[in-house]
Structure 1
Amino acid sequence: MDSKRFAVWPLTPERWGDLEDLFGPQGPSYGCWCNHFRMPQRLRMPLLGAGARQLFEERVRRGPPPGVLAYADDEAVGWLQVGPRAHVPEWNNPRRASTPLPDAPAEDERNWAASCFFVRKGFRGKGVTGALLAGAVAFARESGARLVEAAAMDNRDKRSPEGLYVGPESVFRRAGFVEVARQKPGRPLLRLML
């Protein structure tokens, strides 16, 4: 499938059921429900599963949309968490590959992060990740973002699809992202100026 065959929309409360269907009853990444970069591990771990789902649903209901969903026809087939760096404080941790640079501080809500991908089995390797990223960039622009950054896996890292939750470097490079730092081996910090 070509990435143009996927529609991408921000995750609003009306689309919550689609995200639940995509993630399944346990949620992706052992029940994380996209809270991994939103809170420290000591707070996150006790919530895995139902608690994490409830916390994420409350976040979606409050707004703004914390990311985008990709659809094949009426079925959600992919998710990308994208939004201001300030909304994912653990992504800004100084020990991470995604540590902010002085010219793009986390406190500036115009500096966005594309932090977590999830693609439904059966749709992996079919262009969903590229479609999600294109939709996320459009969403960021429409929301007044100045830039979007990602700490992708470089193309030499051959991990499982689940291990690529941060996205492969090649997808970002095709979308025009450029490397601005390499704070950890195998994990370039990539940026797209909007």
Structure 2
Amino acid sequence: MGKAGFDVVPLTPERWPDLEDLFGPKGACYGCWCNHFRMPQKQRMPLLGEGARLLFEERVRKGPPPGVIAYDGETCVGWLQVGPRRDVSEWNNPRRASTPLPDAPAEDPRNWAASCFFVRKQWRGQRVTAALLDGAIDFARASGARLLEAAAMDHELKRSSEGLYVGPERIFLRAGFSEVARQKPGRPLMRLAL
């Protein structure tokens, strides 16, 4: 049992139905299905909805796991996309808060990113995000990652819960991350050496 009583495990093909249930029939975040950082907007926008779902399902089926999911008993209550930076090419875009630093190039498969959270509405505010991050740290470490980075939302920015898909700064600080750069206001690039 993980933090706050949640079990956090890698998203493997046999767990796909649980993720589908979590995201709902339209898919999380307006039909994105966690493709936002994986491809340029021009490629991503026409896929929103069913096309994005099919693409993401194929990614999960082929492996390796593209992230971790959290369970409260039998119910899947949260998702965190986590894996090598090179797998989320748009996260490495030089105009983003998550732009890689010279000491942690995106091409190095040991440099990982925690890029997108999603928590079932009824479970928000119950520490699912913190449990997901703890599970992601364990997953990254077990997978041979050298470091894990995130472009969190700091406490100064007031956003909706959907706007916090990158994660709030406070959960990264509690997990031992430190700020290594601030390439955009309100969006610290945070890092944990593994």
- TM-score with structure 2 setting the length: 0.98
Q: Deviations over 1:59-109 (max 9, x none)?
A: 000000000000000100000000000000000000000000000000000
State how far apart, in whole Å, the 2-side matches of 1:168 and 1:4 are.
18
The aligned residue for residue 31 of structure 1 is 31
Distance in 2 of aligned mates of 1:50 and 1:93: 26
Shift of 1:158: 1.6
* Greater CA drift, 152-161 or 80-89: 152-161
8 Å CA contact 1:181–1:188 kept in 2: the answer is yes
Find the residue that maps to 1:122 and give its secondary structure.
Answer: helix
Residue ranges of structure 1 left out of the alignment (5+ in a row): none
Query: Which residue number corresponds to residue 41 of structure 1?
Result: 41
* Amino acid across the alignment from 2:30: Y
Q: In the alignment, which residue of structure 1 is the partner of 2:168?
A: 168
Q: Percent identity?
A: 77
- Are residues 1:125 and 2:162 paired? no
Q: Deviations over 1:124-160 (max 9, x none)?
A: 0100000000000000000000000000000111211
> 1:15-94, aligned counterparts within 5 Å?
15-94=15-94
Distance 1:140 1:4 in 2: 20
Letter in 2 for 1:44: R
Instruction: Give per-residue Cα distances to partners, 1:152-185, cap 9 Å, x unaligned.
Output: 0001112110000000000000000000000000
Is the CA contact (8 Å cut-off) linking 2:3 and 2:134 kept in structure 1? no
CA RMSD of aligned residues (A): 0.8
Amino acid in structure 1 at the alignment position of 2:20? E
Tell me the number of residue pairs that the alignment of Structure 1 and Structure 2 aligns: 193
Matched letter for residue 89 of structure 1: S
Distance 2:152 2:136 in 1: 15
- TM-fit CA distance, 1:4: 2.8
Work out the CA distance in 2 between the residues paired with 1:138 and 1:4: 16
Are 1:111 and 2:114 counterparts? no
1:140 is aligned with what amino acid? A
Which one-letter code corresponds to 2:29 in the other structure?
A: S
Give the residue type in structure 2 aligned to 1:95.
R
* Amino acid of the structure 1 residue aligned with 2:47: L
Q: Could you tell me how far apart the structure 2 residues matched to 1:172 and 1:48 are?
A: 29
Query: For residue 182 of structure 2, what is the amino acid of its counterpart?
Result: R
Quote the residue 2:179 is aligned against.
179
Letter in structure 1 aligned against 2:32: C
Distance 1:122 1:50 in 2: 25
- CA separation in 1, counterparts of 2:40 and 2:130? 29
> Is contact 1:98-1:150 (8 Å) kept?
yes
2: distance between equivalents of 1:122 and 1:56? 24
Match of 2:190, SS state, is strand
Aligned counterpart, 1:142? 142
Q: Distance in 1 between matches of 2:83 and 2:60?
A: 12
